[in-house]
Structure formats: C-alpha cells, structure tokens
Amino acid sequence: MTKKHLLLSTLLLFMAGWSTAYGEDGSQLWLRFNSVNTTAQVTGVKGTAMTELQTYWQGGPVVLKRQKGRARDGYTIKSQGGKTVIAAASDAGLLYGAYHLLRLQQTGEQCERLDISEVPFYDLRILNHWDNPNGTVERGFAGKSIFLNPTPERLKMYARANASVGINGTVLNNVNAKPEALSTASLEKTKAIADQLRPYGIRVYLSINFASPIKVGGLETADPLDKTVVGWWKKKVDEIYRLIPDFGGFLVKANSEGEPGPQDFGRTHADGANMLAGVLKPHKGIVMWRAFVYAPQSPDRANQASLEFMPLDGQFADNVIIQIKNGPVDFQPREPYSPLFTAMQKTQMMVEFQLTQEYLGAANHLVYLAPMWQEFFSFVKPGSLKAMAGVANIGDDTNWCGHHFAQANWYAFGRQAWNPALKPEQIADEWLKQTFSRHGKDNGQETAAANSQFSIFNSQLVKVMMDSREAAVNYMMPLGLHHIFAGTHHYGPEPWYSPKGVRADWTPPYYHRADSVGMGFDRTLTGSANVKQYPEALCRLYNDVNTCPENLLTWFHHVPWDHRMKSGRTFWDELCHKYDEGVHETRRFLAVWDAMQPVVDAERFAAVQRKLRIQVRDAEWWRDACLLYFQTFSHRPIPQDVEHPVHNLDEMMKFHIPIGMYENPESGYNK
Ligand code: GCW
C-alpha cells in the first residue's frame, strides 16, 4: 500500500466511523444535547427550566431562583460558591437562562466563572406561520403545516427550539386567513396547541379574516363601526380567552391582495384596527395590523403603504402595532427599508422579516438572512420599533426547514429579536457549533485533531453563510433589480413574464422597465417621487444617480446602459460582472462544502451537497436568463472577462417549473 493509499484509507475509516456514530437527520435542530451523561443537580424553582437542565446539563450544581424587580424575560447567570445561580423574575426568564447555559455547554465555552445579565431588547418576538387549515403552507418549502396533526413530541421540540432562542409568540395561521380559524372547533384545536406551548413561555396569536362576522357569524356586515359587529367580536374574543387565558391577540391583513378589510365598508385601517383593539384590550391582547397594501392602479407600488398609512399616523390605539415588511415592496433579495419606518412618528411599529425564502431560492438555496436584517437595522433604529416578527420557514419535513442551513435563519431570527445588536457572524458561529460540532455528542471527548478540523469547518462555513446573501443578490437581482421572478412561484427568473390580462404590478417589466435607453424604475423626484418618502438626507442621496448607492441603483433610477459606475465600467458591463460574480460565489460555496466531507456526518453532508449543486445550476440559470434577456434591450456584448451564457434564451423562456406557492421545487433549471 502506498503512503497515499494509506492516508486515504485512514481518512475513509475515520469518516465511516464518523458517519455511523454521527449520522443525523437535522430533526434535533441546534439542540443536539446528550442526555446520557447527565448528573446535574438542579434545585430551586420547579418548571421547564429545571426539567431541561436536569435532562441535558452536564456541569456542576445549578440553582434556579425567582427574583422580583427584574425585567419580565430577563435573567442573570452567576457562578457562586461552586454553584451556578440563574435568577429571573418569571418562569420564562429562568428558561431563557437555562438555555443560555446549555448553549455555553454546546458551544464549548467555559461555564465556571459566569457573570451574565441579559434582558431582551423586544418584549414581543413572534413567528408568523402562513399555515392553512388544510395543512398547506403558503410559500412554505418544508412540507406541510406542523399544526395540522401535531404529535406532542414534535410540538415539544418546536417549543423548545423557539424558547432556546427567546421566541415568545407564534401566529398559528396564514395572514390570508380563512374565516373558520375562529370557529369553535378550530379554537379548540388552537387551545390544545396553546396548552402545549405555554410551559415554554410561548403565547399563541391568530390571523383573522376581517369579514368573519359575516362568514362565521352570519351577520350582514363586518363594518367595524357597526354595533352588532363589535358585539360579535366581543363575544368571539371572550370565547377565545375562556379557552386560552393568555391568548396574545390578532394579526390582520386587511384590504390587501383581495383580503377583506374596513375599506370595504368605507372605513379606514385605523377604524378597523381600533375596533379590534378595543375588544382585546380588557384581556391585554394586541392587534398587529399589517401595512402590506398596494393596488393595481398605483403608478408605484413602493409608494402605497405610506400613502395609505401616513394620514393615519397617531390615530391607532395603544394596543395596536403596525406590522411593516422590511422593504416597501415585498421581501426582495435587496430592498431599501420601508420609508414608513422613519416617517411614522406617532404610531407603534414592528418589522416583519421573511424567514421562508419565497424570493431567495426556497429551500434549495443556502442564504443566511441575518446580514440582511442587520442591513435593515443600520437604517432603522431598533429602538424605534416595538417588536419583531418573522414569517416562519418551518414545516413537517424531518429537518424542519427543508434545507439544513435554513434552520440558521430560524435560529438567527430569535437571537436578533432578543438582541438586534448581535453580530450575524457570531450568531452563525454559535449556530454552526451547536448544529454540526461533536460537542455534547460525546461529551467533549473528541480528539484534538477532530477539534481543529471542526474549527476550520466553522470558520469556513461562517464565511460562506456571511457571503451567501450578497451572492444571491448578485446571481438573482444585482444593482437594485427586484421582482423579476417567475409569475407564480417566485423561484426562478422570468424577467419577460407579462401575459395579457395580468395586472401590471404582478409582472417583472413593471419593475425593471428595460428599454433601449437603460433599465430600472425611476423613483426620483421627477419619476414616481418615492425618494420623497425618505428623510431629507437620504432623499437627496437616492435622488441623484451619481450618489445613489449602487446596490440600489435600478431601484431608484432608470439607469442608462452606458452610465459610468464606480468601478469604471459601464452599467451594462457591471451588471454582467455582478451576475457572474454571483455564479462564481455559489461554486465557491460548493467547493468549501465538498472539502468538509470528513468533518460532517454523511447524511447531512450529502443533503447539503445536493442542495448546493442545485444552487450552482440555478445561479447559472439566473445569470443566463437575465443577461440574455436584458441584452435584447441593451444591444451590447457580454464583456470578454465574464463567463458567457451556457443556456439558450428561447429554451429558458419555454421552461416552466410546475409548482404552486405551497411547494419546494425538486430542483431548478434541470433541462
Ligand atoms: O409576498 C407575498 C406573497 C403572498 C403573501 C403576501 C403577504 C401571505 O407572495 O403569498 O401572502 O406577500 O405577505 O401577505
């Protein structure tokens, strides 16, 4: 046997041992605790915190102490006289403290000299599930709804996962709400779920259909100022609180994309929200009223939320929070922040992020979203918001999120809602350690060699995760492009999609406006004047094509093909380069992953590799489709130093993925 063969077989042996011992399916998420060697002595307050520690903590004695005067969910962890003391004002606080300790254990941090004090930045840290009563999940790419026929084990895991990152609320059903969510039969089911989530500090909320008084109650109207309507809501809300005493409140999508709302009765969003708020108030419930509104006749969809909501600033009740998507259009790979966030001064607001990757390659692409949320918070002060909501990426797939790395977005959402100042790198690092390392699996007995291999894995994968969002922007929609997706499923590119009869703002040409002069949506003062919705300084910056940040250029400007970019290239050449850069990045991600085979269990290695290969092919598809299509307007050659398309435009234009909005495509462009 040659030396090379010997090395190879040792490596193979090592890997084989690894895969049998550590074959994993992702079902344990980042909570891959080992309960075998637990000897923990946990005393003090009984409850979920105690049970979790008794089952999984492998260190010295822990005392759980109730301490008045602390912020509700906050806690301290202190090493005192050979013991670890967790103190909090509430059971939830103790539980968060317990998970903090377990996180330290799992990430291999020291746990002997602790002096930690934590208070969550937001009181409300809420997941929004877009789950339907028939079990489908709108824009869900990880299987069916976990709430359809939940097993107690699965619900418990869901609750533990949420609590471990501080998520304390969940809206169980789709904002496109079916009226039957409020039927007594359905409320009984909601109660059963609420009962199982309560021990983990999680409250349930429901999305409601504004026309419920008609559709469930049999009334003739749902006019929020009609006394019978208010009476119906009051009775319904009383019924809910009888079943679920700590029910959180309602999330409402009204007069948006065909959903009913107060405007159907000549009333305003404030009339509708305040009526519900009044009914919920005696129970301490809240209303999260969404600002995601736009109408086909609007000359600029990005303007509309401000146009509808600014006149109502200051008119909302104190238990109403306006829930606003991070950008003014719709969860695009890159958008500027929604200008409502800085314009509304007298209204409580919360941000809605989308964890499910509706516009970012569904459950096929590795895209770590924390950098995007951090970008948002560099424009919108976290302190100007009341709460954070995230549209969940969770389904009944074994690994919960469809893609192993999509779990990181669930994790990061909770961590950032707890503390928006946390660095995305740090969150990625701790998630990777808990999700992939052997810590906790064999109780720190791993060899130095395996440890050092893992630390290489960790640093390389943190980098992949950190670069992944920008890569996706580049291969999908660089330089401010947006909404050039396929008509129905929002997965692949269809910048040409514009069938007769479809409303303009549901077609890509409305957004990219490519013509022989250039490309982009003119939102300047002489265009749709969207820039005016931003504070003075930003308005000026965005309004001038020479000062507008290039990553938002075609968002705000119709940019001439020969416009000179900072790189010295023309706009067209830069566009070609950006698309190509995106493709090359995905190949790099795959190469990094391939090299990690010895360090990752076989099951997850293969699953992620398969997904990354899809991502590479999809990135090429995006680049080729967009460049070849836009070239029919620019009439300029693709620069020599850019890899040239390998697909044909006419074939790509004929290619369709036969999926709707409830499925993850098996693969992307697979001709
Ligand atoms: O992004 C769009 C989605 C819809 C979704 C809507 C919304 C729940 O395509 O599927 O509906 O936004 O946020 O209300």
Out of 145, 330, 391, 490, give the residue to mutate to test ligand 1, the one with the largest number of ligand atoms within 8 Å of its CB.
330
- 211-230: pLDDT as tens digits: 999 999 999 999 999 999 99
311 C-alpha vs ligand 1 centroid, how far in Å? Answer: 24
Residue 530 CA to residue 299 CA, distance in Å, equals 11
Q: How confident is the model over 389-413, as pLDDT tens digits?
A: 999 999 999 999 999 999 999 999 9
130 lines ligand 1 (CB under 6 A): yes
Tens-place pLDDT, residues 455-510: 999 999 999 999 999 999 999 999 999 999 998 889 999 999 999 999 999 999 99
Residue 443 confidence (pLDDT): 43
Q: Is the pLDDT of residue 32 over 80?
A: yes
Distance (Å, whole) CA 570 – CA 47? 64
In angstroms, rounded to a whole number, what is the distance separating the alpha carbons of residues 160 and 491?
Answer: 31
- The yes-or-no answer on residue 358 being catalytic is yes
The single residue of 257, 544, 594, 666 carrying the catalytic annotation is 257
* Position 16 confidence tier, pLDDT thresholds 50, 70, 90: very low
* Residue type for position 194: A
| Pocket-testing residue among 358, 482, 485, 506, ligand 1, by greatest number of atoms within 8 A of Cβ | 358
Task: Count CA atoms closer than 13 A to 564's CA, side-chain side.
Answer: 1
Angle between helix 407-418 and helix 370-377 axes, rounded to 10 deg: 30
Count of residues in the chain = 671
* Residue (of 104, 123, 122) closest to 113 by Cα position: 104
User: pTM value?
Assistant: 0.95
How many A from CA of 139 to the centre of ligand 1?
Answer: 8
Minimum mean pLDDT range among 34-43, 347-356, 427-436 = 34-43
The vertex-614 CA angle with 608 and 615, nearest 5°, equals: 85
Among the listed residues 164, 44, 170, the one whose alpha carbon sits nearest the alpha carbon of residue 96 = 164
Whose CA is closest to 29, among 412, 418, 361? 412
* Residue 660 pLDDT exceeds 90: no
Task: At 179, list the tokens.
Answer: 């009226």
Judge whether 129 and 171 are in contact, CB under 8 Å: yes
Ligand 1 and 138: CB distance under 6 A: yes
Catalytic residue check, 257: yes
Q: What is the DSSP letter of 283?
A: G
E-only strand ranges, 119-230? 124-128, 169-171, 203-208
How crowded is the C-beta side of 205, counted as CA atoms within 13 Å? Answer: 27
**Which pLDDT score, from 0 to 100, does residue 14 have?**
42
Max Cα–Cα distance, the chain, nearest Å: 89
Find tokens 């990553």 and name the residue: 551
- The dihedral over CA atoms of 619, 621, 627, 631, expressed in degrees to the nearest 10, equals 180
> Given pLDDT bands bounded at 50, 70 and 90, which one contains residue 36?
low
In the numeric block, the tokens 């509706």 are attached to 358
Structure-token match 């746990």, residue found:
111
Rounded to whole angstroms, how far apart are CA atoms 391 and 207?
13
Burial of 436 (0-12, 13-18, 19+ CB in 10 A): buried
